[in-house]
Amino acid sequence: LLLQVFDAFKPRFQESNSKVTQEALVALHKMIPVLKDNSSPVINMLIPAIVDNNLNSKNPGIYAAATNVIQALCQHLDTSLLLQPFCTKAQFLSGKAKQDLTEKLA
């Protein structure tokens, strides 16, 4: 069930409407403390969706919401679940997204 929910939710992070993207990130930020490690089946799907377009966003609201989600993931999940997806994304990113993920990895 969780996979089905996040399969439907994931496209909202890549929406052309920036308000929808920002609200989706804010909603995810609120879900993470509730789901905690139960969200592990969807981590490999979520991290690229969050990071790819949003962590380098020029829209300050989207960037802030994306960094809040990354911070919440680090606070509420077993960090061993995040290591591989963060490393994989950090290899191929540029700009502030690469810097942000590299700092989280350190």
Q: For residue range 28-71, what is the model confidence (pLDDT) as tens digits?
A: 999 999 999 899 999 999 999 999 889 999 999 999 999 999 99
The residue written with tokens 């989600």 in the block is 69
C-alpha distances (whole Å) from 25 to each of 12, 80, 91, 93, 106 are 9, 22, 23, 19, 24
Q: How far is residue 72's CA from residue 33's CA, in Å, rounded to a whole number?
A: 7
Q: How confident is the model at residue 98 (pLDDT cuts 50, 70, 90)?
A: very high
The mean per-residue pLDDT over the stretch 90-99 comes to 92
Tell if the pTM clears 0.75, that is, is over it: yes
**Can you give the pLDDT at residue 106?**
85
Alpha carbons 57 and 80: distance in angstroms, whole number: 27
- Which percentage of the chain shows pLDDT scores above 90? 89
Average pLDDT score, the chain: 94
Q: pLDDT for 61-79, tens place per residue?
A: 999 999 999 999 999 999 9
